[in-house]
Structure formats: structure tokens, C-alpha cells
Structure 1
Amino acid sequence: MLSNRRLVLTCAIFLCCNTALLVFFVKFNIGERCYITINKDESIPAVLPENFLSIGIDTSQVQHHNTLDFSNKRFGELAAALAPARVRLGGTLSDLLIFSADENPPLPCQHYVHTSNDSAHPPLECFYLTGSKWTQINEFCKATNLKLLFTFNVLMRNEHGWNSHNALEILKYSHEKKYDIDWQLGNEPNSFHHVFNVTITPQVLAHDFKKLRKLLNTNGYKKSLLVGPDTTRPQEHQPNCLKYMVEFLGNGSHSISVRSWHQYYLNSRTATLEEFWNPKTFDLLKEQIETMQSHTKDYNNIPMWLTETSTSYGGGAPGLSNTYAGSPLWVDKLGLAARYNITSVFRQSFYGGNYSMIDHDFEPLPDWWISVLYKKLVGSKVLNLTCKCSQYQRMYAHCANTKYTSDPTAITIYAVNLQLEKAKFLLNGTAFKSNNLDIDEYIISAPSNNRKTKTILLNGWPLQYESSVPNFKPNHIKYGNHISMPPYSIGFWVIKNTSVENCK
């Protein structure tokens, strides 16, 4: 028989062990209790087009004709999985691109483009886009149900301003082949002095857009959108971006169909994993959208797009932008843009660079999987959602995609959990009064919480590309009134049998 002293010691050890286990369980399995509130009579702050989530391919990918084969079958399958969408062919090299229907152009391209000879700004090399490559790009778009958004070269100039002769060649060639295209003119014009040592004022650019609009109207593209001016993101220490946008709209708003700008969070050369998962980084987009919208509110009748956007500028941060490390920023960007009625978001880039959605071997990377899942589950009507939780959980709600479920009351909630703790959410509000909620749950996570992985898990199983239409299988939750997220995860939940009236 144990002595009293030994019995007390044994009980104390037993009690300490059980207390430690209880603390561990609470910390990693219960997590902070959060409350999601959606009411049955919620208003719809925005209704998005089906091509809201769109993609970009940098013009550098067509600089050398053998860089990217648009006719590759697997490449086409991966792109078609994101349809309907737009694909923007743009970027810095757009303003060095010369079109030639001939395979052997008669003149060197330097004959057309005039940039600075300043030794501090060595001139970038212009290049030709041939008729055969242009045909391949457009046939790719038709085959994959992607609408092309093409950026004309605005640095082709003469004493009268923009020289539109080469643009006219593209229009005539495209109209003859019945290509359906929307258009832009110039890429990040407020940065031309930094990139090319050339300055085009917003007033002059507005005049160039007016010239292009007339050219489109008289050459078979009257119904095409003209999107611009594609300035960089607003920043306090660089007020020229906002100034350029406002002055351009003041002179050229009647010529454009869409107000457009570009957004990145971080510098690819210096960005860290901690910055990628820091809530302060996420908040930058909200501040930038609100700044851009407040300064251009006089033009709210013109839709706003993010025509080029990713985690970090300068091609993406290696090992971060094209891994799971960048996925929460992408999901949050989709949610914020939708909430603020930005009606198209172009992910830079679908292919190429360190921020691509597929790699050079045409293998899907994490953000491709997440984008396909988003397209499958998330509908066009945006819902108001109130989430009482920490800054490390960010959450959004839409009516569910009607192609996913025939239930007219179904909603889709999606969220990111930036903590190494489980997060649990109680479904609150009049939308969830039914005792018969039926939930399809899709949890994206990283193996062993390795946030720099290129292989992600769906409900605990690794995702592997086997067909053009992935078969995502959900977890089914019946009669529950809460949802939860593991550490460092992304979640999508399609909740059926709600009382939300505006989804009907």
C-alpha cells in the first residue's frame, strides 16, 4: 500500500498531467470562440460578374515566341478550369511590343519606339509579336472561354502624340478573324519616367485614349471595353499615383469603360514569410481600395477593376508568392475586392514569374487549386457578414454558386486563419435559425503546417492534378451550428437551408 506522502505525490503528478493535457486540448482544439452573424434580410452590396476572378499573363511571355506555347493541351485545360474569366496580356513590355502580321518584319522594331538614351536609364529592347503568335493567343482564348484584354503600346509616338498606325494593324487583322477582344493603352503610365525616362502627362494620355476609342468605334470594336489608365497602387509617400488617376479621369473619363489600377503588398526582394501572414499586410489592400475609391468617387458610374495584382511586385518572392504562403492574401483579396464592388480582379500571373498559379511544367500551384474551388462554390451576390473574432481570422460571405447547388437559400462562407491555433465559429443571426442546416465543408491546409509548401491538402488529402475538372469532395456537417478551422488554414463552407431571402 502506498504511503500517504507517496499517494499525495502521485495524485499531484496525475493532476498536473491532466491539467497540461486539458490546456493543450483547449489551445489547439477549441481555440478562440468567434461569432459569425448573417441575417436573413441582408442587403446585397455588390453583384459580381462570372468573370470576377480573372488572370494575367505578362507580355514578357510572348517576347520570345518559344517561351510559352498557347496551343499546349495541358496549358489550355488548366486555363479553362478557371473559365469564364478574362485574361490580360499586359505588363511593362506591352509598351515595347510591335505587331507585325508578317513573320519576317521589314524594319527593325527600334524604328517604331523611341525611348530615352540616357545612360542612367538604358533603353529596354522592343520586340515583334507576329500574326501567327497573335492567332495562337486568340485561338487559345476561344478554346478556353477566356476573354482577352490586350494592352496597346502607348510609347509609339510622333509629334502629334500617340501613333496609332500599329494599333490599327492589330484591329484590322483581329476584326477580319472575328476575334472578341477588350483593350487597354499603356501600362502604369505614372511610372514611365522611372521605367523609360519618358513622361506622358495624364492630360496627354486622356487625349490618346480618346483617339483609341474613335479607332475602336470605326474598326469593328465599338462594343469593346476600353480599360484604363492602369496606374500603380496609392501610397502616402508617392502621391503621384492618385494625382495621375484623378487628372486622367478629369480629362478622359468619357473615353473609358473601366477605371483600372494595379495592387501589390510587398517588395519581392525583401518580403518575408512573417510579412505574408501579418494582418497589417492584409490591411494594406483595404486602405488602398478606400483611398482610390474616395478620390475617384465622382466617377462611380464607371466600374473599377484591379487589372494586375499579386502578393509582391518585381516578379513575386521566390518560395513565397507561388506557394501556400501567398494563398491567404489571395483569398482575402478576393473577399475584400468583392465587398468593395471591384468587379474584376486579375491575378498576376497565371503563368511565369515567382507569383504564378501554374509552374513551368504546367503543374498547378496552390492558388490555382484555390481559385478553381472559389469558382465552383462562390456565387455572384455578395453578402454582409459580421465576424467577432481576432485580427487573425478574416471572413467573407456570398450567396452560393447556383451551379453548385439548387438550394436557393444556400450561402458560401470563406475565411483564412492566420494563427497556429484552431478557430471555432458559432453561426449566429436570423439567417441560421433553421435546425436543419446542411454544410459542405472544404478545408485547405498545409502538410505539417509547412506554409511554404507547393502541395496542399483538401480535408486532409493531398491535391493532385488528374483531370481538367477536379473532383473536390467535401466533408458533410448535418444539423450543426458552428464551423471550425485548423491552424494556418483556408476554409470554404456551403451552408444550405438558411433563411437568407436575397439569395433566392
Structure 2
Amino acid sequence: MLSNKRLVAVCAIAFCCNIAGLVLFMKYNSGEKCYATIDEQQKTRLRELAMALAPARLRLGGTMSERLIFSREDIPQVSCDHCPSNLTSKSTCHAVKKLCRHKFLPFFLMSGSKWNEINEFCKAAHLKLLFSFNVLLREHRNEWSDQNAIDIINYSKQKGYLVDWQLGNEPNSFQHVFNITISPHRLAKDFVKLRHILNENGYRNSLLVGPDTTRPQAHRPECLEYMVQFLGNVSHHIDVRAWHQYYLNSRTAKLEDFWNPDTFDLLKEQIETMNRHTKSYTHIPMWLSETSSSYGGGAPGLSNSYGGSPLWLDKLGLSAKNNITTVIRQSFYGGNYSLIDKDLEPLPDWWVSVLYKRVVGNKVLHIDCKCSRFQRMYAHCANRKYTNDTTAVTVYAINLEMAKARFLLNGSALHGDNLSIDEYIISAPSNNRKSKTILLNGWPLYYESPKLDLQPHQIKYGNHISMPPYSIGFWVIKNTSIKVCK
């Protein structure tokens, strides 16, 4: 899911499935300092694009979190053969020695100054940081070595940083990725230790999120087994049960796979499977803590184009419907599943995310749609920041067919002579689903300033909505008789 020279951090909107992502590139080789490849002008632009989706959550994690070592100081080159002995961060050299036992795997250093930049960026962009500790720093008896984590925690507390925490990334796959095994029982003990450390060092109110297993698959039952055994040993010490989800293999996926209803149904089956196997722990919120359309870095020209947007919107709707309270997008910048491109220009899923956040509220409503398998529809109370109308409802839908779809707004709550509808139709120019430019109500979308001018088409006194071929639609329906949105 990550290239072998990049650490990816992602952020998710901190309420029901409004999503963004953010990526921080860090170069690494054995012991090399990490640095962000963003200049001041880019930093301003990046902050603007992130703020458009705030309040949000930034996740600094992924596969390379297991290669990260913290050092308060900006120190010169460190290697397996050389580490300065006079460091303030006493755990740095200790951690280097531990990771150097795995000589075929590189490591990199994150300095205190870079940690400051990350936290200052989060504060400026109204993001809450979610950070994953390196769980592969192990003692000889396979116990987690917490010294480097304590350094980060103490440093963060001194600076007054607000952070939520994880420990490890996809631990059920460690044997495949790192040729290392950590049992769910052992990892649960490590989480208990971390919870005590957080409580004793000023982070009692911070969330502890885990175990970040991969999606459930029939041919890989170890994912579910790992999750269930982990929860059975740690449920009183974590705040969120989290897992990762992707639909497709980026190396083999084709455009039609992204628009196939069978692909869309995979997430529904996986959520139901995960819920069924963890039903004893429904008091613990569930997150998709890393997710996108296709794994392995994303499919070029597909997962970063309009071709991937229906899957993204459907994931938001289906997750909200199933009470998955946070969805963390992989990724905002970097890879072929990013929300913005290398020139910091928004890609289709960024626009879809912004519009979703603008018009969709937190409360999910039941909707009956006489749709074919090629149309999918969801309904929420409208976002109160969008309209003061407490009866307003937002309906959003996807049309996967090369044919127009038309729906009657039926039922007593949506019936009446004075319905007012704000309509937003997203489509691709000439139905080119691989386009990285999209149309809103027929006009191309370009980012020019933080004050986004997303104007709806207004429908007065109508009781029908319709969708062009291969389109996405949002409708804010006002003056209904619905009372539950008050």
C-alpha cells in the first residue's frame, strides 16, 4: 500500500464518514533523517486543501510506521554501525540497534523539529493527529520496547500537542511483510501497556485505536481470527476497533471493475462479516482506519480519476449506514489513489469529498429506492451549516449505467407543493470516466481559492430527481415534513 520510499499519512473527517486524506512524504534510507518535500508556498496550498475538509483527522501511519524511530534532535547520519551516544533521546540508539537486527529492512529517523511541523500543520488546518507507534521495536522475549514511544509521548506533552494513538499496522500480515509474527494475545498485552503509559503521562483522554487488521476475506480467515482474539484480550483498554479495506488489486483492476455492482457489494459483505464476528464489542466504535478503492499504490488513471469516485461515495454512504463512525482515506497526496495530484491540484474524489461534507449531515435516514443494481442511493439529514431548514434532507446517489435514471420523490414526508431542491450533479466530460477533470451541473471544476463557489441548480415545486448516465448526484430537499432532523 506504500511505495518503498514513502511514509504515507492520511486524515479522515472526524464524523460520520466525511473523508479527506493527507500525505507527508519522508525520504528514508538506513538512519537517514526524514524531511518533508514541501516548500512554503506548497504548504499554504496544502493547508487550504486540507482545511476544506476540516474538522478532520490526520493519520500518520502505514507500513513504514514500523520503520520509524524518533529523535528529539536533528542528528547527523546514523547507521547500524554508528549512533551518537550523547543524544537527549536515550531511546534512539537503543531503537536503532533493535531494527538493525532486521538488516534487510531500512529505518528512518523522525526528528523533534519534524514532529513539531506535523503538529503545527494539524493545528493550522484544524486536523486531529492520529499517530502509529513502531510495534516492531521488540525485546528479546518479544515484548514491545516502549522507550522510544515514551520519548514521543513526553515530548508531545511538553509541547501541548493533542494526539490520538495507534500501535502497529496490519499485524496479521507481519509474517508476509516483515517475516515477523506477533500474536494477537501478545499485541493485546502491548496495547494494555501503552494504555497505562498514556494514562500516566498526560494522555488519559486520548483515543487508542487498533488493531488495524486487513479486510475479512473467505480465503484468509486469519484476519477475522486476529481481530476477535485481539479484542478478547484488550476490549477494556482500547477506544476504537479498526480495520483496513480495499476492493481491488491495482495491478490487475480495469475500469469496468470500478463500475461493477459486484465490486460495490464487497464492502457490504465485509462490514457484515466484521460486525457478525465482533458483535460482543459493539460498544466500541468501529473505524475503517485505512481505505481506498485499490491496494498496491492505486491504479493509475483509475483510482485517481473520476473512475474511482462512485466507489468512494458509496463507501461513505454504506459506512454511515452501518455506523462506521470514521473512514480514513488512503491518501491525500501521493500514490495513484490520492485526492490531489503532484501539482497540488484537486482530483475528482477531493471535490466529491468537499461536496459530501458541505451538504450531508451526521444523522442517517432510511430510504427505499426502487433502483436497479446500477443505482445506489442514501439519505441523511442535511448539514445544518448548509441550511437552517430543520426539515431539510440530503439524498445522494450513484448511477453506474450509460442511461439516464429518474426517481419520484414519494412518501408523505417528501410530498407537497412547495418542495425546494438544491441539485448538484457530478459527471465527466463526454462521459470519459478516466477524466481527472469533472463537471458540476455541466461546468468544469477548478480550484482557484479557498472560497469554493459550488452553486446548485435550483428546482422549485418539483417531485422528481434525475441523473445523467455515469453520474453522481446530491439533492438537498427543503420544506419537507420530516421531524427527526430537528
**TM-score, scaled relative to structure 2:** 0.90
Greater Rg, structure 1 or structure 2?
1
Residues 16 and 362 of structure 2 are in contact (CA less than 8 Å); yes or no, is this contact kept in structure 1? no
Structure 2 residues not aligned, in runs of 5+: 1-12, 29-33, 84-92
- The Cα of 1:430 is off from its aligned counterpart by 1.7
Is 1:387–2:373 an aligned residue pair?
no
- The Cα of 1:274 is off from its aligned counterpart by 0.6
User: How far apart are the structure 1 equivalents of 2:24 and 2:179?
Assistant: 20
Deviations along 1:210-245, one digit per CA (max 9) or x if unpaired, are 000001001111100000000000000000000000
- The Cα of 1:115 is off from its aligned counterpart by 5.7
Residue 150 of structure 1 aligns with which residue? Answer: 131
Aligned with 1:67 (options 37, 46, 70): 37
Residue 4 of structure 1 aligns with which residue? Answer: none
Aligned with 2:416 (options 430, 434, 457): 434
Aligned with 2:259 (options 268, 277, 286): 277
Residue 370 of structure 1 aligns with which residue? Answer: 352
Is 1:95–2:81 an aligned residue pair?
no
Residue 26 of structure 1 aligns with which residue? Answer: none
Residues 202 and 248 of structure 1 are in contact (CA less than 8 Å); yes or no, is this contact kept in structure 2? yes
Aligned with 1:85 (options 56, 72, 77): 56
Partner SS, residue 187 of structure 2 = helix
After the TM superposition, which residues 461-480 of structure 1 pair with which residues of structure 2 at under 5 Å, given as runs? Answer: 461-480=443-462
Moved more, 331-340 or 357-366: 357-366
Structure 1 residues not aligned, in runs of 5+: 1-47, 118-122
After the TM superposition, which residues 198-213 of structure 1 pair with which residues of structure 2 at under 5 Å, given as runs? Answer: 198-213=180-195
Residues 188 and 230 of structure 2 are in contact (CA less than 8 Å); yes or no, is this contact kept in structure 1? yes
- The Cα of 1:87 is off from its aligned counterpart by 1.1
Residues 409 and 503 of structure 1 are in contact (CA less than 8 Å); yes or no, is this contact kept in structure 2? yes
- The Cα of 1:500 is off from its aligned counterpart by 1.1
Is 1:424–2:406 an aligned residue pair?
yes
Question: Which protein has greater RCO, CA pairs closer than 8 Å, 6+ apart?
Answer: 1
Aligned with 2:97 (options 111, 128, 136): 111
Is 1:321–2:292 an aligned residue pair?
no
- The Cα of 1:499 is off from its aligned counterpart by 1.2
Residues 422 and 475 of structure 2 are in contact (CA less than 8 Å); yes or no, is this contact kept in structure 1? yes
Is 1:53–2:23 an aligned residue pair?
no
Residue 137 of structure 1 aligns with which residue? Answer: 118
User: How far apart are the structure 2 equivalents of 1:292 and 1:77?
Assistant: 36
After the TM superposition, which residues 262-273 of structure 1 pair with which residues of structure 2 at under 5 Å, given as runs? Answer: 262-273=244-255
- The Cα of 1:116 is off from its aligned counterpart by 4.5
Residue 23 of structure 1 aligns with which residue? Answer: none
Q: Percent identity?
A: 66
Residues 267 and 313 of structure 1 are in contact (CA less than 8 Å); yes or no, is this contact kept in structure 2? yes
The verdict on how the C-alpha distance between 1:175 and 1:379 changes in structure 2, with shifts beyond 3 A counting, is same
CA RMSD of aligned residues (A): 1.6
Residues 81 and 469 of structure 1 are in contact (CA less than 8 Å); yes or no, is this contact kept in structure 2? no
- Give the AA of the match of 2:70: F
Deviations along 1:174-202, one digit per CA (max 9) or x if unpaired, are 11110010000000000000000000000
Residues 14 and 56 of structure 2 are in contact (CA less than 8 Å); yes or no, is this contact kept in structure 1? no
**TM-score, scaled relative to structure 1:** 0.87
Residues 116 and 198 of structure 1 are in contact (CA less than 8 Å); yes or no, is this contact kept in structure 2? no
- The Cα of 1:104 is off from its aligned counterpart by 0.3
Residues 53 and 346 of structure 1 are in contact (CA less than 8 Å); yes or no, is this contact kept in structure 2? no
Moved more, 332-341 or 248-257: 248-257
Residue 147 of structure 2 aligns with which residue? Answer: 165
Aligned with 2:166 (options 153, 161, 184): 184
Residues 424 and 484 of structure 1 are in contact (CA less than 8 Å); yes or no, is this contact kept in structure 2? yes
- The Cα of 1:428 is off from its aligned counterpart by 1.0
The verdict on how the C-alpha distance between 1:463 and 1:135 changes in structure 2, with shifts beyond 3 A counting, is same
